Amino acid sequence: MAIEFVGGNTAGKAGATSGNTTIALNSGLTGGIASAVSAGDLVIACFATGAVADRTLAITDGTTNYTLINSELYSNDTFDTNLRVAYKFMGGSPDASTTFGPTGDNADSGAMAVYVFRGVDSGIPLDVAAVPATGIDTSRANAASIQPTTTGAYIVVVGAAAHNGGVDTFTSSDLTDFLTVGGTNDTNDITLGVGHLAWTSGAFNAAALGHSQADSTSF
């Protein structure tokens, strides 16, 4: 069975030390073949915050943590980026939503996304290990190169950048079904983006994401 993109959705959230936010999975998905998840679908969930410290973020099904991909990333600058990416396969009764925890501080804006695929092998969801990358002095998130090994694999790229100045978004020159969202206008703001590419051969290094705000070495 070939992999298909089901759809995705995004949301921003205000900074807080408590309280959860959800993104629906049973409706509202766009850009793909369906507006809701089905049994066996793979949900990739992304949660990023702007901050001035290393935060511990939570992505759950309401009770149980999603499976973390690699590790939660932290990039330390004047405005710090925290990024957590995790996944869950839907069971026979698919979840109604994905739950995201608080950002960790009232000044820390949050940005969230769900990105759903169908036809992914539940026994080997990651064809090769994820390749993390972090950086400072720019809001132009720049993913590392990756090379799958299995015909029909999809490459998924997630980027985040902390900044000030309000709600901003990314652009991508080479990713398909690209979704981007800015968190609310807090003290420490955040932009999140996620897209994919159907792999054919060789290594792929996604172009750095464009950003709607003028760049700064504080970002």
**pLDDT tens digit at each of 219 positions of the chain:** 799 999 999 999 999 999 999 999 999 999 999 999 999 999 999 999 999 999 999 999 999 999 999 999 999 999 999 999 999 999 999 999 999 999 999 999 999 999 999 999 999 999 999 999 999 999 999 999 999 999 999 999 999 999 999 999 999 999 999 999 999 999 999 999 999 999 999 999 999 999 999 999 999
pTM over 0.95: yes
Distance CA 167, CA 23 (A): 19
Helix (H) or strand (E) holding 114: strand 110-118
C-alpha 131 chain-centroid distance: 14
DSSP β-bridge partners for residue 191: 161, 182
Residues 32, 22: Cα–Cα separation, whole Å: 20
Say how far apart CA 198 and CA 38 lie, in whole Å. 21
DSSP state of 146: B
189 forms beta bridges with 163
Q: Which helix (H) or strand (E) holds 99?
A: strand 97-100
